[in-house]
Amino acid sequence: MMTESIERPANDPLLRPAGLRGVAADLSSDQRAFKNVSWGKAMMWIFLLSDTFIFGCFLLAYMTARMSTTVPWPNPSEVFALTIGGTEIPLILIAIMTFVLISSSGTMAMAVNFGYRRDRRKTAALMWATAALGATFVGMQAFEWTKLIREGVRPWENPWGAAQFGSSFFMITGFHGTHVSIGVLFLLIIARKVWRGDFDQERRGFFTSRKGNYEIVEIMGLYWHFVDLVWVFIFAFFYLW
């Protein structure tokens, strides 16, 4: 009995090349990954992924420097203590900074919620509150930097022990503080546009999307929650270790 061979067209999905080319073909033909995700949100996720690697390298470098140095590492409870009413309270400023930044995540989450409801006044007010909490955090961080600089901490020296402490501290907290400052600036810009009704009137300009679309608020929320999450790791590795 003779069987006829069935010829398949060249674009038949069942005809896949073997090996790594087959893997590349499968990945390139997959339309489910970002099919229902806007470019703005996808690009923010890619940016946050790359930023995760940068912060991860910084924290790994800090842990390597701390574990490899032969000079005693300063005690964070003593270095970051504040004297209030004649009593030295360890890590009190850091605790307040952490509370402020975590609270800003709550206001940002509520802003995203009201953004989806298209309640522009509550959305803008909550974004302004988030920006105010972020600016407060940056102000307290500036106070912390000023205090340590006056006490003699430099990127190349440290009066309490290992010289790597100063460079690690200014690099990690400075990089994170820059992220918070940029976030505060963009929160103010987007909140002003929301308050004016740019997203309802589809007014032309930067960051203005389709009419009635408040997705930019959610994108800002992704960035802000990432900044808060990074601070949790910095707090655990740098101030509690």
- Confidence label for 229 from pLDDT (cuts 50, 70 and 90): very high
pLDDT tens digits for 87-114?
888 889 999 999 999 999 999 999 999 9
| % of residues, the chain, pLDDT over 90 | 48
Question: Is 222 inside a domain boundary?
Answer: yes
Residue 199 is predicted with a pLDDT of 76
Assign 159 a pLDDT band (cuts: 50, 70, 90).
confident
24-73 pLDDT per residue, tens: 666 666 555 556 667 788 889 999 999 999 999 999 999 998 888 888 88
Output the pTM of the full model.
0.81
- Residue 65 counted as domain residue: yes
In the chain, how many domains are there? 1
The range of the structural domain enclosing residue 71 comes to 38-239
The verdict on residue 7 lying in a domain is no
Say if 196 falls within a structural domain.
yes
Residue 9 lies in a domain: no
- Taking the C-alpha atoms of residue 20 and residue 16, their distance in angstroms, rounded to an integer, is 11
Question: Domain of 77: which CATH number?
Answer: 1.20.120.80
Query: Does any domain span residue 3?
Result: no
Q: Looking at the domain assignment, is residue 201 inside a domain?
A: yes
Contact 107, 124 (CB under 8 A): no
Question: Do the domain assignments include residue 72?
Answer: yes
